[in-house]
Chain A
Amino acid sequence: MTAASSVDRLATVQSDLERQRIRTRWSLVAPAMIVIGIFGIVPLLIILVYSFLVAGGYGGVEWKFTTDAYVSFLFDRDIFDGTFKFVPDYLEIFWRSIWLALLTTIVCLVLGFPTAYFMATRPPSQRNYWVFLITLPFWTNLLIRTYAIMLIIRDEGLVNDAMRGIGLIDKPVHLLYTNFAIILGLLYSFLPFMVLPLYSSLEKLDFRLVEAGFDLYATRRKVLWRIIIPLAKPGIIAGCLLVFIPALGAYITPLILGGGSELMIGNLIALQFGTSRNWPFGSAQALILMAAVMLALIVYVRSSTERGRTAHG
């Protein structure tokens, strides 16, 4: 036996082991891939196909190809002469949803940053409890939490009762079924999504840099704006994304607090699959929403890889 042939043999054994290792890994993830593939990915492909079909009379679809679903998102076809007229109604709901989600994200950031900073500067033994307290509401039922908000802000609710009690107002102020109610509900639902990534990036903050700032006669304000906030940027971006995406696709919050008159994309989609019985149109709207989410994710990935590059360069 020469040395060379035993090296060869070793190499074959190693590549066999490697192949076996990959096979074991794949067989372990296979159930997850199959279940999510069939019941998670295939349905998405189905609505992609549905969005190019004709609506059935009683829900469902007819198997005829058309791009009507996408066209009717922007235009209304005149039944008599077949001309298209621009209809901004659906676009307006999309635009409003984006605007509401953005506003929610900004308010979440303004409230979430101080909270996360405060948590990160507690003694280590207390931090875990803070994280637990902030996370706990997220795990409770969203429908119930939104209902609780409704109890407080409706005309006969606690806020109006209290304001009437101290003589601030004599007629109830309509808070429910307004944009304010939706933003409050979204803020309340998604605040933990902002606080947690901010906390995890602030917790790793090197406070020697803060000290150096003070040594160079920076004020507390300046240290915050010039040192702490720039260092927390990854957390800020992640938090904003984690709030913006679910807020954009919100369904329960506008359903309960918007009261059917103040719609968001989520409700519009549900409506097409419910009373409107226009599944292709609903599918098209769902895909447009999905595209918006993907766009936000791409922007995020871009910005995080760019950061990685500048950090190395």
Chain B
Amino acid sequence: MAEQTITRPLTVDTVKRPRDPARQALDLKRQPGFGTVAMLCLAMLYAPIVILVVFSFNTSPSVTRWENFSLQWFFKVAANRDIHDAAFNSLQISIVATVVSTIIATAAALATTRTRPWPGQTAAYMVINLPLIVPEIITAVATLSFFALLASTAKINLGIGNLILAHSVFCIPFAYMPIRARLEDMDLTLEQAAADLYATPWQTFRRVTLPLLTPGVSSGAALAFIVSIDDFTITQMVAGPGQTTLPLYIWGQLHKTGVTPEVNAISTILLVVSILFVTLSFLIGRKRK
């Protein structure tokens, strides 16, 4: 197994010394106990999620003592008007923020890849990645201050538009990463061929670059969507009255009534959505190889 990956012919001992079968049988890469730690980490990452999901299917209102399988909490969620409103708000914000940030990120990725360095490129790169560097709580209070100032001095209040704008900003770097990765894997020959055949730059982009870039764009859009729909910190600070999203609803329930299986059920739904989208993004990204 490990023998395949070790580049045998280049090693010193194969040249200088005869091969020793007992030596070869030893796995050079093995470090005792490391596999156990890896499994432990994996278990630690998944156990809480699995437990949460399992107890959303429990009959009893206890979230830690198992009785019987039931879907009653999911029916409760489906019938809850407040959750409908929260889900509608969440979807509205996330869909618009995804579209806006993906378009912006695609243009930015086109400008910053497959090119000789141009003046300002480093600065542009730093600005695009800024939302990843600044701690979320700082972005949250800064955005709150910004919109509060806008409301008090210029009397501008965009309502849910505030949340959409805030989300669009932090979604840009997440959408940008897979698009950039995809572009870096594409060479310019096809675009050059199109230009040789008298295609205008727009035609070349529309008929050659964009179709080739689609996997990167969809993978970026998927990431932007889940980052947006899962956001709590910034949303909590910026959201006005009546702008409850699903994570805010979950927090409200935890705060008011404590732990309930209904919270587990909404959480399960949100987890499934996230996992679905990441898997999709992963599969789209992998296909090209």
- CB of A102 within 8 A of chain B? no
- CB of A237 within 8 A of chain B? no
Q: Which of A117, A192, A246 contacts B31 (CB 8 A)?
A: A117
- CB of B186 within 8 A of chain A? no
Q: Which of A25, A37, A152, A297 contacts B121 (CB 8 A)?
A: A25
- Bound-complex Cα distance A256 to B115 (A): 46
Residues on the B chain within 8 Å of A150, using CB: 259
Closest B residue by C-beta to A251: B137
Q: Which of B130, B144, B270 contacts A41 (CB 8 A)?
A: B130
The winner among B31, B140, B270 for most chain A CB atoms within 10 A is B31
- Nearest CB of A to B118, in Å: 5
- CB of A112 within 8 A of chain B? yes
- CB of B219 within 8 A of chain A? no
A25 & B128 in contact (Cβ 8 Å cutoff): no
Q: Which of A118-153 contact B (CB under 8 A)?
A: 118-119, 121, 123-124, 128, 132-137, 139-145, 147-152
B64 & A156 in contact (Cβ 8 Å cutoff): yes
- CB of B237 within 8 A of chain A? yes
- Bound-complex Cα distance A210 to B26 (A): 13
- Bound-complex Cα distance A304 to B226 (A): 33
B64 & A151 in contact (Cβ 8 Å cutoff): yes
- Bound-complex Cα distance A1 to B162 (A): 63
Interface of A is mostly: helix
Q: Enumerate chain B interface residues (CB-CB to A < 8 A).
A: 1-2, 4-7, 10-13, 28-35, 37-38, 40-42, 44-49, 51-52, 55, 63-65, 100, 103-105, 107-108, 110-112, 115, 118-121, 124, 127-128, 130-131, 133-146, 148-149, 152, 165-166, 168-169, 172, 176, 223, 226-227, 230, 232-233, 237, 247, 250-251, 254, 259, 263, 267, 270-271, 274-275, 277-279, 282, 286
Interface string of A79-111 (1 = CB under 8 A from B): 000000000000000000000000000000001
B138 & A249 in contact (Cβ 8 Å cutoff): yes
Q: Which of A244-259 contact B (CB under 8 A)?
A: 245-246, 248-249, 251-252, 256
- Nearest CB of A to B227, in Å: 8
A46-B142 contact given A161-B64, A188-B44, CB 8 Å threshold: yes
Q: Which of B13, B31, B237 contacts A270 (CB 8 A)?
A: B237
Residues on the A chain within 8 Å of B45, using CB: 134, 137, 188, 191-192
B108 & A31 in contact (Cβ 8 Å cutoff): yes
Partner-binding segment picked from A3-11, A278-286, A305-313: A278-286
A46 & B149 in contact (Cβ 8 Å cutoff): yes
A114-B169 contact given A121-B2, A142-B232, A283-B141, CB 8 Å threshold: no
Residues on the A chain within 8 Å of B63, using CB: 151
Residues on the B chain within 8 Å of A191, using CB: 41, 44-45
Residues on the B chain within 8 Å of A147, using CB: 52, 250, 254, 259, 263, 267
A26-B5 contact given A191-B45, A251-B136, CB 8 Å threshold: no
- CB of A115 within 8 A of chain B? yes
- Size of the A side of the interface (Cβ < 8 Å), in residues, is 92
Residues on the B chain within 8 Å of A142, using CB: 230, 232
- Nearest CB of B to A154, in Å: 8
16 pairs, A vs B, C-beta closer than 8 Å: A25-B115, A29-B128, A32-B127, A117-B31, A123-B4, A133-B42, A140-B275, A143-B230, A144-B270, A157-B64, A208-B7, A245-B133, A249-B137, A251-B136, A270-B237, A293-B133
A158 & B104 in contact (Cβ 8 Å cutoff): no
Closest B residue by C-beta to A28: B111
Residues on the A chain within 8 Å of B31, using CB: 114, 117, 220, 224
- Nearest CB of A to B135, in Å: 3
B138 & A269 in contact (Cβ 8 Å cutoff): yes
- Bound-complex Cα distance A152 to B259 (A): 12
A114 & B135 in contact (Cβ 8 Å cutoff): no
A279 & B145 in contact (Cβ 8 Å cutoff): yes
List 20 other contacts, CB 8 Å, given A117-B31, A141-B271, A211-B11.
A21-B118, A32-B172, A35-B165, A35-B172, A40-B169, A43-B146, A46-B146, A47-B145, A115-B38, A115-B42, A136-B279, A140-B274, A140-B275, A148-B51, A188-B45, A266-B135, A270-B141, A279-B145, A283-B145, A293-B133
- Nearest CB of A to B127, in Å: 5
Closest B residue by C-beta to A293: B135
- CB of A52 within 8 A of chain B? no
A151-B233 contact given A114-B38, A118-B34, A119-B38, CB 8 Å threshold: no
- Nearest CB of A to B131, in Å: 6
A141 & B233 in contact (Cβ 8 Å cutoff): no
Q: Which of A157, A158, A252 contacts B232 (CB 8 A)?
A: A252
A245 & B48 in contact (Cβ 8 Å cutoff): no
- CB of A22 within 8 A of chain B? yes
B51 & A29 in contact (Cβ 8 Å cutoff): no
B127 & A36 in contact (Cβ 8 Å cutoff): yes
B270 & A141 in contact (Cβ 8 Å cutoff): yes
- Bound-complex Cα distance A44 to B142 (A): 5
- CB of A163 within 8 A of chain B? no
Q: Which of A138-188 contact B (CB under 8 A)?
A: 139-145, 147-152, 154, 156-158, 161, 188
